[in-house]
Structure 1
Amino acid sequence: LCSDGLWSQLPEATIVRLLSERVLSDAVPEMVELALRQNAAESDNVTALAMEWEAEAERDTTQGVSTEGIKPGVFASTFQSGLPDMQPDELDDAAIERSIAEINEAIRRAAARK
């Protein structure tokens, strides 16, 4: 799902190629960046949402999301939802502190780029 700020700037073939050749977590931010570069001065809304409908059987779906792999200058957000009957993991104090440290580090990296 994407806004006209994305589909009006990128040819359909480019969107199809990126979504076919790359994992979603790489393809979607790349499409947004390409659309922004195409018409940065006129661009007011470049939004894209993508999801995988079915995970591979061997895939570990309990993995968390990390900002460590996000390239400089790229904004990306990933929302993941578990099955309704899944209970969230209990976080101990150390896990909470690690999460806070990772968020603070991502904020620091973003601020340093500005």
Structure 2
Amino acid sequence: MQLKRDWTLGAQFGDEGGFRKVFEAQADDGMPAVVKPFAQSPGADRELSLPRPGAQNVIPVLDSGEHMGQWAIVMPRADRSLAQHLTDAGGSLSVEETITVLLDVAVDRA
């Protein structure tokens, strides 16, 4: 996949789910990442404008653009999934941990 950089796509993670298709990817220099392609439907390009440099608690976007009639966002690959994090934490977060996570997501600290 050619965006601003060259990316080699790998296997798809799980099913399409709420976040659509997500694929393993590797940059031309070997950096691991994930790619989220999505249709160029009206308003979909707003996802390309969401990342803001310096924004806390927001996954950084390594690359983005158009490829074969779709938009695509490239992000760093996480070491583990949210499901794995919850399993490691005993199956669920406490109320206090949940509130902390929700505040981190809801409050813009950039």
Q: Same fold (TM over 0.5)?
A: no
TM-score scaled by length of structure 2: 0.27
TM-score scaled by length of structure 1: 0.27
Q: Pick 1 or 2: higher relative contact order, CA cutoff 8 A, min separation 6.
A: 1
Determine which structure has the larger helix proportion and give its number. 1
Determine which structure has the larger strand proportion and give its number. 2
Structure with the greater alpha carbon radius of gyration: 1
